[in-house]
Chains A and B, each alone.
Chain A
Amino acid sequence: MSGGNIMSFEGCNYFRQRLILSTLSGKTVRIKKIRSKEDDPGLKDFEASFIRLLDKLTNGSNIVVNETGTSILYQPGLLVGGKIEHECNTQRSIGYYLEGLTCLAPFTKKPIHAVLKGVTNDQIDPSVDMIKLSTFPVLKRFLGTDEGLELKIVRRGAAPEGGGEVTFSCPCRQKLRPLQFTDPGKIKRIRGVAWAVRVAPVVTNRIVDSARSVLNKFIPDIYIYTDHYKGSQSGKSPGFGLTLVAETINGAFLCAENSSNPKGSDKGPSVPEDIGKETAKLLLEEIYKGGCVDSTNQSMTALFMILGQQDVSKVQTGPLTPYTIQFLRHVYSFFDVMFKIEPQQVSEEDEDLRTGGEKLILTCVGVGYSNISKAVS
């Protein structure tokens, strides 16, 4: 209706953020100069796949990509949801798509039941385990309950060839709840999943042992599940990895993960012990950063905070990741919402407590967003 509602961007970075925010805000987005100076210009396959997923998820959206794929115009439609089946491109893992999906899922017309096929674990994106362990608890706080919120790993497929399959279902809501979560509390336990596909089952045990060797100094309550997939459930490429999550007494989940180098990578094969130790250290790093949401979920939390009612939402985080910072900028340009970001004031009594790095308090007022797709009777 109003032609002035077009946002223009350049470059392929933060591609998902832009499309997601565009879908939610209803503003048209034009992205130009996508890899225009590279040898292989234009959209990559995984981005095209993400667009296709968005197209399946929405009704009436208009996507125009130019011939070389260096420029795209996206006019969002309304989110529909329902049953979706998507063959995710194997250049990126399912996490890449799933992150986008979780941001949109609460605002669909019908609850989402998505079947995603592709790479479940790789080194670039958060894996499905990570999303299940750390994103879902955050999502649950906004939805109210975790009824109908489910992520099932039917088949596990490691990079590069994939062959994994997950089912994701999420209920939709008319409105989200405001979030007040500034005290994560202390970590009471560490859980994790050590997985392996198409390698010897003993690999998982080796990972677990090495991870425990690092973590045992901090807390005794550690349990790492070993998850070895066989036969048809094991995808097409060999691989193994570990996802660790630290749960606090107030229900914050800090997650870290690592996985083996994909088959045929120039870094050579990985050693399970290294993976275990590395992941444990990553988790400690994450704990050092701290916060009520871990670094991967900062942007999603921020998104749901502004898409709530016109109430103040507060959340404590560790230092903001570049991805989050860019996301906050995008949020500002799409929704005109600024976040108040302040370092958390530590009371004098607690100054001597050694709880890692500086924490931030993110505060914002929701824009009064409501799900316009869902039908009322």
Chain B
Amino acid sequence: MEEDGNQKKHRKRQAGPKAEKKKAKNKHQQELTPQQRNPKAFAIQHAQKTAKLIRRTQDIKTKKQHIPLVDRTPLEPPPIVIAIVGPPKVGKSTLLQCIVKNFTKQRLANVQGPVTVVSGKTRRLTLMECNNDINSMIDLAKVADLVLLLVDASFGFEMETFEFLNICQVHGFPRIMGVLTHLDAFKDNKQMRKTKKRLKHRFWTEVYQGAKLFYLSGMVNEEYQKTEVHNLCRFISVMKFRPLQWRLTHPYIVVDRIEDITDPETIRQKPKCDRKLSMYGYVRGTHLKNHSMIHLPGCGDYSISDMQSLPDPCPMPDKEKKKTLHIKERLIYAPMSGVGGVIYDKDAVYIDLGGSHSLKQNVEENDEPMNELVASLMNVNNPLDQKMGTSQMTLFSNTAPITEADIKEDSEADDEEGTARVRRSADFNDVAATNQKQEKQTEDLVFDDSDEEEESFNLFSNSVKNQTVSSSERTGKMEESVGSESGSDSNSDSDDEETSSKKLKLSRTTGDSKTANSSEIVGANVTLSSSGKNVDTDTPKGLKSDNSNSETEDSDDDMEEEEDDENEEDEESEEEEDSGEDISDEEEEDEEGNLKWKANLAAAAAESFKKRQTERINYRKLIYGKVEEDKEGEEEDDELGGLFKVLKKKDEKNNPNISANMTDSSKCVPDKLQSWELEEIQDLIKDCFVTGNWDKSEDAKALLEQDDELFGDFEDLETGEIHHGDGEDDVDDDEENDDKEDDENADGEPSVRKKTKAEKTAMERRMEKKKKLKELFDNEYDMKGDNEFYDNWKLANEEQAKLNRAEFENMEDSLRVGYEGFRPGMYVRVELDRLPCELINNFDATYPLILGGQQSVEGNIGYVQTRLKKHRWYKKILKSRNPLIISLGWRRFQSIPLYSIQDHNFRNRLLKYTPQHLHCHACFWGPITPQGTGLLAVESLTGSEPGFRIAATGVVLELDKSMQIVKKLKLTGTPYKIYKKTAFVQGMFNSMLEVTKFEGAKIRTVSGIRGQVKKALKTPEGAFRATFEDKILLSDIVFMRTWYPVEVPQFYATVTSLLLPPAEKAAWVGMKTLGQLKRERSIMAPPKEDSLYKPVERKKRYEPTLKIPKDLQKMLPFKDTPKVLKAKEDPYKRVAVILEPHEAKVNKMMKMVQNLYRHKLKSDKMRMRERVSKHQKEMDRIGVIKARKQKQVKKDIYRALGKLQKKNEKYKKD
């Protein structure tokens, strides 16, 4: 110990290289976070405060989240609609021209309607100017993606600006960019800056804080400054847009070209006839389907009669990597404007933009005509084709006219034939066939008829439908194919023919109803497929149906054969039964038969299944092909039905079909089961079960191996041991052994090579492993937390979007359109029938024409309940039952709303007027529109009133076909007889029946005594017995509170502003309010009798004295007792005094003396008064004299004094 103590301690080096080395080695690393080191410091000290803090951070986080939507933006989006809006004289047209010029380097002189330009490599713009009409503003706000809101800075904001902003708010807020113009009107720079700032802040409060506001300072040569416009355009072309709910779910087209394709002859004959118009434009929003319902705002509801996609007239530039657009790619498309000097015209003459690049375009696209003349011809919408198509040729007086469609159909049928032949494989049920021999002859005859004489036959027969040509021809072809097929088959030809003919017959008897026919076929399919023996044949079935068509049609001719047919029907049904029996017989045979036969059967069955698997049924044709054909057929029927009786006969003939009236059940029970006892058949579904074989990707064993490869080996970090997975063990061991051997042997090159290879694979494996682990970790930890749900949701939506895009991506457009509809971004031509002639006659390109697509449900009308608020800037309040013009969905219409408010018990109580600053419910008869859609109401469309026009805004809450709105109704009656608590009340009801309806109802008196209706009385009519909680008085009024349902008026009228002549377009007037009508016709409302003023007649009131009962008085304290002391009675007066005559004499004397004395006093007084007044007069007179004298004296004295003073003064002066 001592030694230890004596020894010198080791001192560490404090400096020098060694010390530094050591320091570097033992560098202190903080492995713990501060929170771990000092958890107390981070403990929650204020629970409330922390809770608040957490809540706040969560709030902020959640506020940032939007409900994830599936991204449905198309790959090639339609041009962005830019609406240029502002009051008149603010510079809208100039701006539009400047923007167009900026993009295309061209100046448009006269802009009308939408102008589409290519703005960049990925963007096109459709520019539209909005005129100063609230109709246009509403329509444009519904379709615009970006709004350039022009404001005259020298004037400030105008009403229109705010109106438009409010319209936008209601119909989904598109992007809004403010543009201040007329800034050169300011002389004073400071003034301008101030105005700018003021306007900016006002704009911000309307749109959002920090909304972009552009300034266009002065004009140069009637145009805005180039740099400023350029900047504006750059802003436009990089702008991002938010998807708007309504437009995500509704397709729409902003029409940029319209043609009248009605037959000119009919127009000439009837100028007011309904028109057929074709409209052109880009599909926007979502997929638009052919034949879907559309609404033309300002016109009405129609359904698309036809729709085609056209090549894009203003295509996106090529996807080459270039910085800027080539001048030839800067396209412009504005058919309604006067582009290149030729003006859009009703006769559909539209000439493409002249200039260099249009020529270039022509060269590029071969479809494009070479010159303007051809272009104009082209744009008359293929009139020749159209006419050829619609024209009809009648060969014989009684035949149906032949149209081009027929010929087309022929060719189509041929085509179909071609395709149908591929999937044919003929094998028929032999058993069924054998029974048919006797019928073969007749059937073949019929068949041959149609085959050989198809053309002439059709032409000559009276009862031929157009389609017959095609179908009979088809049958002919079919037969041929059958023949050829059967020839190759081992079966005999005749048998085959027989079967086919039999099938024909069958199908004929079952009829060819459009719907039932092919379903039957498939039913047959199923049965066939399930019966293991039959090598299945789908195509013959298809054939059968086709044939059946022709058959029935042919059979129209031979009406006399009907009876025969019926007989045949019977026979056939028997035959069918027969065949069924046969089958069962066979089954029995099977069961009885020897094993060999059985094995054969199983093999055949297996083969048939295999065959079936390889076969491809064209389901599209099976399901939809028929439908389309049938539709065509129907249309033709419609066209010709009125003219030709033949068709009707045919319909009747078609009618007695059995399949159309079969039992309707979704359960599909196969008639004959496969023989599941057989091993072979059982094996067919062996792998459907978990016990069977699995896919390679899912097989547990394979997966396990794979996992082992990835995760099997790991390194224990503590011990440094390396564990290997089972799968790898052998290899690794080998490797290790090898390594050892290598080490030992110190073998040269081969070992090195091996080693590197092994290492490499190991490295790779490790990398892979790490990756997978990281993924696992990420999945486990990154996703956990508050955002997990949200992130998952987003992810699912993204996946859906990906699928939506990918599903039909590689499909041909013509097919794809059938599945999806016309997708947004396609340029389409839409044909509409039966449009009013005013639409085209009064067409004005400055009014936007929109085709708004909608669901078929949205075409119906019902009661719409909305939450509504009168606009705070609207001067008046709105009155129930006053018509209101409402903009909802695509529509603008007039309807009569009833305002109501919901009580706490969910009763909708009618309001006479909208509340001033509250929301209320408004219910009206209108179009069914999805809940949550915004709406807007105006009282009149004309801008004649100076104030703010938007009367109310709201949102749709509920749709129904009936509405329960009630108003309060008080029934009053009077009691006419009262017992203790029972009273008989009359005057409330008119009959016993009414009373019985209200038995048990609550009633009340004015004084607040509650009661109940008990029972009706016989007399007087309508009286009833009622009980109350207390005795009521006869003078009480008894009343009952009830609710009376109010009907919402069923009035709905579309605002047809587009149909009005141009001068009146802005002033559509619908139903007028009662007030307006009265004002117009100066009708005064008749005053109510009760409201007239009359002189008040008041009865004199008799006030009863207050009487306090004696008992009560006794109990009262003395202070409160009434102190009405009785006047002390004169004790003498009480006795009637009868005087003696003497006494009476004395008394009389005394009275006289008294009277005399009184009279004396009185006269003395009178005299005294007289004297006094006389004396007074005297004194007055004396006083006057005295005063005069005194005055004189005073005068004298003052005069003397004055003189004296003067004298003194004089003296002094002197």
Interface set of A (CB-CB < 8 Å, partner B) = 1-2, 4-5, 9-17, 24-27, 33-38, 59-61, 77-78, 96, 99, 109, 124-126, 174, 178, 180, 186-188, 214, 217-220, 249, 278, 280-282, 284-285, 287-288, 290, 295-296, 299, 309-312, 314, 319-323, 325-326, 328-329, 332-343, 349-350, 352-358, 360, 363-365, 367-370, 372-377
Q: Is the CB of B278 closer than 8 A to any CB of chain A?
A: no
Counting CB contacts under 8 A, is B472 at the interface?
no
Shortest CB-to-CB span from A264 to chain B, Å, is 19
With A35-B661, A218-B689: A319-B529 Cβ-Cβ less than 8 Å: yes
Q: Which 7 pairs, one residue from A and one from B, show the smallest C-beta to C-beta distance?
A: A60-B961, A11-B660, A26-B857, A341-B619, A321-B668, A322-B519, A375-B958
A-B contact count (CB 8 A): 286
Q: Taking the complex as formed, is B7 at the interface, i.e. its CB lies under 8 A from any CB of chain A?
A: no
Q: In the complex, what residues of B have CB within 8 A of residue A34's CB?
A: 661
Known: A96-B665, A188-B690, A296-B667. Is A10-B961 also a contact (CB below 8 A)? no
| Residues of chain B in range 664-691 having any CB-CB distance to chain A below 8 Å | 664-670, 673-674, 676, 682-691
Which residues of chain B are near A25, meaning CB under 8 Å? 855-857
Q: Give the residue name and chain of the B residue nearest to A376 (CB).
A: B931
* Residues of A with C-beta under 8 A to B38: none
B623 within 8 A of A: yes
B1007 close to chain A: CB less than 8 A: no
- The docked-state distance in angstroms from the alpha carbon of A339 to that of B1178 is 135
Q: For residue B289, which residues in chain A have a CB less than 8 angstroms away from its CB? A: 336-337
List the one stretch of B154-162, B227-235, B800-808, B842-850 in contact with chain A.
Answer: B800-808
Bound-complex Cα distance A367 to B821 (A) = 10
Chain B residue with Cβ nearest A217:
B682
Q: Which residue of B lies closest to A1 (CB)?
A: B861
Least CB distance from A320 to B in Å reads 7
| Contact of A355 with B688 in the complex, beta carbons under 8 Å | yes
Q: How far is the CB of A242 from chain B (nearest CB, A)?
A: 14
Contacts of A326 in B (CB 8 A): 515-516, 519
* One of A333, A360, A372 near B627 (C-beta < 8 A): A333
- For A342, the chain B residues whose CB sits under 8 A away are 619
Contact B661 A11 (CB under 8 A): yes
Bound state CA distance, A352 and B610, in angstroms? 12
Alpha-carbon distance between A84 and B381 when the two chains are bound, in angstroms: 56
List the A side residues contacting B665 at CB < 8 Å.
96, 124-125, 323
Contacts A296-B667, A339-B623 aside, 6 further interface pairs with beta carbons under 8 A come to A78-B959, A124-B667, A326-B516, A342-B619, A354-B686, A372-B931
Q: A311-B800, A312-B804 are in contact. Are A358 and B860 (CB under 8 A)?
A: no
| From A11, A15, A290, A341, contact of B623 by CB (8 A) | A341
Inter-subunit contact A353/B623 (CB<8 Å):
no
Main SS of chain A's interface residues? loop
**How distant is the Cα of A124 from the Cα of B287 in the complex, in angstroms?**
40
Most B CB contacts (10 A, CB to CB) among A284, A296, A374 go to A284
What residues of B have a CB within 8 angstroms of the CB of A10 in the complex?
A: 513, 515, 655, 660
Q: Are A1 and B860 in contact (CB under 8 A)?
A: yes
A214 touches B676 (CB 8 A): yes
Report Cα–Cα, A369/B856, bound state, in Å: 10
Contact residues in A for B962 (Cβ distance below 8 Å): 59-60
Q: Could you tell me if B684 and A356 are in contact, using CB atoms closer than 8 angstroms? A: yes
* Stretch touching chain A among B92-100, B320-328, B365-373, B692-700: B692-700
Asked if B194 lies at the interface with its beta carbon under 8 angstroms from chain A, I say no
B819 in contact with A285 (CB, 8 Å)? no
Complex alpha-carbon distance, A354 and B522, angstroms: 24
Given contacts A13-B659, A312-B803, A355-B688, contact A332 B961 (CB under 8 A): no
Q: How many angstroms from the CA of A296 to the CA of B669 in the assembled complex?
A: 10
Best-surrounded residue of B302, B529, B655, B960 (most CB of chain A within 10 A): B960
Query: Most A CB atoms within 10 A — which of B656, B664, B665, B959?
Result: B664
CB distance from A179 to the nearest CB of B (A): 11
> How far apart are A211's CB and chain B's nearest CB, in angstroms?
12
A290/B624 contact (C-beta < 8 A), A12-B661, A375-B931 known: no
Instruction: Please measure, in the bound complex, the distance between the C-alpha atom of A11 and the C-alpha atom of B654, giving whole angstroms.
Output: 11
In B928-942, the 8 Å CB interface with A consists of: 928, 930-932
Please choose the segment from B178-186, B290-298, B341-349, B1056-1064 that sits at the chain A interface, where 4 or more of its residues have CB less than 8 A away.
B290-298
The interface size bin for chain B is 35 or more
Is B613 located at the chain interface by the 8 A CB criterion? yes
Q: Are A320 and B855 in contact (CB under 8 A)?
A: no
Say yes or no: B290 contacts A336, CB within 8 Å. yes
The contact of B694 among A186, A290, A343, A356, by CB within 8 Å, is A186
**What is the CA–CA distance of A373 and B929 in the complex, to the nearest angstrom?**
10
Confirm or deny: B1116 has a beta carbon within 8 angstroms of a beta carbon on chain A.
no
Partner of A13, one of B292, B664, B666, B690: B664
Question: B616 contacts the other chain (Cβ, under 8 Å)?
Answer: yes
Q: Please give, as numbers and ranges, the residues of chain B lying within 8 Å of A357 by CB-CB distance.
A: 529, 609, 612-613
Q: Mark B794-812, 1 if CB is under 8 A from A, else 0.
A: 0000001001100110000
CB pair A355–B523 under 8 Å, yes or no, is no
Q: Are A369 and B855 in contact (CB under 8 A)?
A: yes
Would you call B800 and A15 a contact (CB within 8 A)?
A: no
A180 / chain B contacts, CB cutoff of 8 Å: 803
- Shortest Cβ distance from residue B1210 to the other chain A in the assembled complex, whole angstroms: 113
Chain B contacts to A: CB under 8 angstroms: 70, 72, 249, 286-287, 289-293, 301-303, 513, 515-516, 518-520, 522-523, 525-526, 529-530, 609, 612-613, 616-617, 619-620, 622-624, 626-627, 655-657, 659-670, 673-674, 676, 682-697, 800, 803-804, 807-808, 818-821, 855-862, 865, 927-928, 930-932, 957-962
Q: In the complex, what residue of chain A is closest to B291 when comparing beta carbons?
A: A336
B666 contacts A186, C-beta separation under 8 Å: no
CB neighbours (8 Å) of A36 from chain B are 655
Chain A residues with CB under 8 A of B673? 278, 281-282, 285
Q: How far is the CA of A320 from the CA of B624 in the complex (A)?
A: 14
Give the residue name and chain of the A residue nearest to B523 (CB): A322
Q: Which of B622, B690, B697 has the most CB of A within 10 A?
A: B690
Decide if B691 touches A219 in the complex (CB within 8 Å). yes
**Bound: A53/B605 CA distance, A:** 45
Given contacts A11-B660, A12-B661, A295-B668, contact A372 B928 (CB under 8 A): yes
How distant is A308 from chain B, measured CB to nearest CB, in Å? 10
Say yes or no: A364 contacts B819, CB within 8 Å: yes
Q: In the complex, how many angstroms separate the beta carbon of B542 from the nearest chain A beta carbon?
A: 13
**Contact, CB under 8 Å: B516 / A11:** yes
A249 touches B960 (CB 8 A): no
| Complex alpha-carbon distance, A9 and B1113, angstroms | 95
B507–chain A nearest beta-carbon distance, Å = 15
Question: A310's contact among B72, B619, B959, by CB below 8 Å, is which?
Answer: B72
For the complex formed, measure the closest distance between the CB of A127 and the CB atoms of chain B, giving whole angstroms: 9
Give every chain A residue within 8 A of B668 (Cβ-Cβ).
295-296, 321-323
Complex interface: chain B residues within 8 A of A295 (CB): 667-668
Contact partner of B689 among A60, A124, A187, A369, CB < 8 A?
A187
Beta-carbon contact of A320 and B661 below 8 Å: no
A9 to B673, CA, bound (A): 34
A332–B624 contact, CB under 8 A? yes
Measured between C-beta atoms, what is the minimum distance from B570 to chain A in Å? 15
Complex Cα spacing A334 to B689, Å: 39
In the docked arrangement, what's the CA distance between A12 and B688, Å? 38
Closest to B799 in A: A180
Contacts of A188 in B (CB 8 A): 689-690
A9–B515 CB distance below 8 A: yes
Is A59's CB under 8 angstroms from B693's CB? no
Contacts of A377 in B (CB 8 A): 957
CB of B683 within 8 A of CB of A354, answer yes
* A284 pairs with B960, CB closer than 8 A: no
The answer to whether A219 and B690 touch across the interface, beta carbons within 8 angstroms, is yes
Are A328 and B623 touching (Cβ within 8 A)? yes
For B523, what are the chain A residues with a Cβ–Cβ distance below 8 Å?
322
Complexed CA–CA distance, A77 and B515 (Å): 26
Instruction: Give the docked Cα–Cα distance between A148 and B624 (Å).
Output: 37
Q: 25 interchain pairs (CB within 8 A)?
A: A2-B301, A11-B660, A13-B660, A13-B662, A17-B664, A26-B928, A36-B655, A37-B655, A186-B689, A220-B691, A278-B673, A285-B673, A295-B667, A311-B70, A319-B529, A323-B519, A336-B289, A338-B620, A340-B808, A354-B685, A356-B685, A364-B819, A365-B820, A368-B249, A376-B932
